[in-house]
Amino acid sequence: MSSEVKESITIHKGLDSIRVNESSICLIDGERSRLYYRGYSIADLTDNASYEEVAYLLIIGQLPTQLQLDELKNTLFSEYTLSPITMTLLKSYPSTSHPMDVLRTTISSLALEDGGLTQDKSVNLQRAIRILAKAPVIIAAFERIRQGKEPLTPKKELGHAANFLYMIHGEIPSNYDSRIMDIALSLHAEHEMNASTFSGIVTASTLSDMYSIITAGIATLRGSLHGGANEEALKMIMEIGTPENAVTFVEERLKQKKRIMGFGHRIYKTYDPRYTILKAIAEKLGGVKGKASLYDTAVRVEREALGRLSDSKIFPNVDFYSGLVFHMLGLRTDLFTPIFASSRIAGWAAHVLEYLEDNRLIRPKAVYTGKVDLQYTPIEQRT
Ligand code: SDX
């Protein structure tokens, strides 16, 4: 590559600030701590809407009427069933499998019974709703199976969030816990062109199928820099144990150039609005569940980390308190990211369906820095 040509090329590492399409699904105002789904603020939605309403809003594009919401709920309920093949699969996994690996593998396996490429929008939408319904059932079923218990079938009278808790815990959750879970699912449902959404878009742009698209999203969300941070953040807070240990821990971690999980964001250069909502929930839930000391430790860690990172515009994100909230709802730590994934299926599906309306294969370029025209050397001559 001639040097003058190379000088004119800019490499956008991590595609930082690169825009790949126009979208009307989500607006993140990273400077003013604002988040909107289809024009509604996340605070307004979590104050008033159910997760089912939020999922409908994201995927279809407007808030549902009562009739449309009832129809979605009926479709979700009919799709909560798992086939004998899926149930046999779930019972075949090692009990030590990570639930994110279980979710990714099992969602992918659904294509074995409903395979095939299609460009039919109604089939893509139907498959997206099917996966949205089955993801929590798969997560909850594996949680029961690894405890040596039989999976539970969801109850018609419960909503999506309440059924999720019921299928995991085996008892009808309180209205309070159900509402907290509902809000947490809505907070995780969508976030513009994040890594896992982009992964789904790339897969969709080749005209692959919805099972492959959602599998790609789950696989991408798994990483600790993305969806895996909630699990890591809670482990960090529990490792610290008491507020008094926070100073030393944060100092040591930063001295070792390690990251404070649940802090920092590519877009937010101030507080993540989802953090604000989850922190308030964690404080109240901590009091209700007798976990106030864990909350106090988290607040001290947050304060110490902020003191050292906020000048670099590194603030707490959705993952700092989400793990605490899920823990206080009695959910095991390795379920946090699968729960995040089950909620984000709505956002992934919304972006994929929108992108396919004006599809273009996603295929960037690299800057070549290797050699050219090398001569082949027979293996016996290679040293
Ligand atoms: C999610 O994109 C989305 O919208 C994601 C998400 C969604 O809803 O889909 O919001 C969900 O993934 C939230 C983020 C969860 N991840 C974490 O909490 C893991 C810890 N955070 C980071 O690793 C980091 O902040 C990222 C990955 C989230 C963002 O990183 P960037 O924008 O690529 O920035 P960077 O990694 O280049 O860091 C810039 C500097 C570095 O310092 P230097 O090497 O330049 O000296 O900031 C430092 C970093 O070391 N830094 C941190 C830090 N995050 C960044 N230092 C300490 N602790 C941190 N958490």
Q: What is the pLDDT of residues 346-371, one digit of tens each?
A: 999 999 999 999 999 999 999 999 99
pLDDT of residue 8: 80
pLDDT, tens digit (0-9, with 9 covering 90-100), for 331-348: 999 999 999 999 999 999
Domains assigned to the chain = 22-225+345-356 (1.10.580.10), 229-328 (1.10.230.10)
| Residue located nearest, by CA, to atom 35 of ligand 1 | 266
Ligand 1 centre to CA of 320 (Å) is 12
CB of 225 sitting under 6 A from ligand 1: yes
CB of 336 sitting under 6 A from ligand 1: no
CB of 279 sitting under 6 A from ligand 1: no
Q: Amino acid identity of 50? A: S
- DSSP state for residue 316 in the 8-state scheme: B
Ligand 1 centre to CA of 322 (Å) is 16
Distance (Å, rounded) from C-alpha 327 to C-alpha 335?
A: 9
Structure tokens at 40: 């509604």
Of 221, 236, 195, nearest in space to 98 by CA: 221
Q: Can 70 be counted among the known catalytic residues? A: no
Query: Which ligand 1 atom minimizes the distance to the CA of 190?
Result: 8
CA angle 120, 125, 129 (to 5 degrees): 150
Q: Which of 177, 209, 272, 319 is catalytic?
A: 319
Distance (Å, rounded) from C-alpha 180 to C-alpha 285?
A: 9
Distance (Å, rounded) from C-alpha 43 to C-alpha 309?
A: 26
pLDDT of residue 296: 97
Distance (Å, rounded) from C-alpha 192 to C-alpha 171?
A: 35
Q: Amino acid identity of 289? A: K
Query: Which ligand 1 atom minimizes the distance to the CA of 263?
Result: 60
Phi, psi for 23 (deg, rounded to 5): -145, 145
| Residue located nearest, by CA, to atom 1 of ligand 1 | 226
75 neighbors 129 (Cβ within 8 angstroms): yes
CB of 314 sitting under 6 A from ligand 1: yes
Q: What is the largest CA-CA distance in the chain?
A: 76
Ligand 1 centre to CA of 138 (Å) is 30
Give the CA count within 13 Å in the CB-facing half-sphere of 25.
Answer: 26
Query: Which residues face 316 on adjacent strands?
Result: 263
Ligand 1 probe mutation, 18, 259, 270, most atoms within 8 A of CB: 259
Of 193, 200, 210, 65, nearest in space to 126 by CA: 210
Q: Can 16 be counted among the known catalytic residues? A: no
| CB neighbours of residue 164 within 10 Å | 29
| Residue located nearest, by CA, to atom 44 of ligand 1 | 257
Ligand 1 probe mutation, 225, 231, 276, 351, most atoms within 8 A of CB: 225
pLDDT of residue 41: 98
CB of 323 sitting under 6 A from ligand 1: no
Structure tokens at 57: 């809003």
Ligand 1 centre to CA of 301 (Å) is 17
- DSSP state for residue 64 in the 8-state scheme: P
CB of 191 sitting under 6 A from ligand 1: yes
pLDDT of residue 115: 81
CB of 26 sitting under 6 A from ligand 1: no
Residue ranges of the chain with per-residue pLDDT less than 50: 1, 4
pLDDT of residue 2: 54
Of 185, 233, 198, nearest in space to 341 by CA: 185
Strand, helix or coil for residue 357: coil
Distance (Å, rounded) from C-alpha 246 to C-alpha 262?
A: 15
| Residue located nearest, by CA, to atom 31 of ligand 1 | 266
Ligand 1 centre to CA of 272 (Å) is 12
Phi, psi for 370 (deg, rounded to 5): -90, -170
Length of the chain (residues): 383
Of 364, 260, 377, 286, nearest in space to 10 by CA: 364
Q: Which of 265, 272, 327, 351 is catalytic?
A: 265
pLDDT of residue 22: 97
Ligand 1 centre to CA of 340 (Å) is 18
Contacts of 219 (CB under 8 A, 6+ apart): 104, 199
Please give the helix or strand (H or E) that residue 216 lies within, else none: helix 210-221
Ligand 1 centre to CA of 229 (Å) is 10
Rg (CA), the chain: 22
Query: Which residues face 26 on adjacent strands?
Result: 37
